[in-house]
Structure 1
Amino acid sequence: MVQLVEVEDEHFQSAQPGPEEDDADFTDTDSEISEDSDYDPSQETLAERLYALKDIIPPTTRGWIGARFDTGARAVQNTWFYGSRTVWVVCTAALMIGVPLATCWAEDQQIEGMEREYRMREMGSELLTAGEDQKEGNTADMLNQAIGGKTEARPSL
């Protein structure tokens, strides 16, 4: 019959190097809380403090916030891109259509003013010679008839 015997390895029988059996005095020297650290919180910037807070927010929430931020950034970017092109098209069209139109309108106004001045000069010469052609009549009445009878003569102030 076969008999099983447990054989222990020498490696497990010897004590391991490391802290003593009394773990109460054990301190972690790599900890940021240790008193011999040269960390000065007054030298820390706001950006560094906010970056350190990222571990408080779970990764799924950070991913959700990042996705929303990227979506908003893309929306602003597209709005800026298409908005600037729209403004360019509108301004160019206004310059190409509006400037010649304004020039033509100004020329028409100038021509109408010249025609009005010419008619006034003709009426003035008719008024000066009105006494020779008609026997009776007032100069103001003749002026009123020449204009069309719609206005009344008013004294100037």
Structure 2
Amino acid sequence: MPVPTTREVIPGAAVHIILKKDQPTGRTVSGTVAEVLTRGNHPRGIKVRLVDGRVGRVQSLSSGGEAPEERIGLDAYVTNSGGRQRGRGNRGRGGQGEGQGPSQGQSQGQGHGDFEYGIVTCPVCGQFEGDEAAVAHHVAGHFD
């Protein structure tokens, strides 16, 4: 079955997309196109951003009889870090210059230094902060 063309995939269209992480399994999700990201036709499908923020390639158009919205699972919010080693070279320094003491570094509050230590905010409520494992556990609580 051929994938839809740029004439068919327009903002507001109901579509079935395959997320990049689901390419090996072929699992598709439904949604409404917010933005078309591919300029022309593509053999594996036109890349789009849905209104809920997910990005993937359009596999087919949705018919009007299907449910417009599906329940979004935890996997839509939690992503694998991809093995990147963040801040490993800056341990002990905290990303501060040598001329700064602890009092100067603390007066900055929460800036880009939090990223080096892996402090993240809950993507669901935006209020809970902690390391990656703590936030993953907290996010799971939103879906229980």
TM-score when normalising by structure 1:
0.17
Look at both structures and tell me which one has the larger radius of gyration over its CA atoms: 1
Greater fraction helix: 1
Greater fraction strand: 2
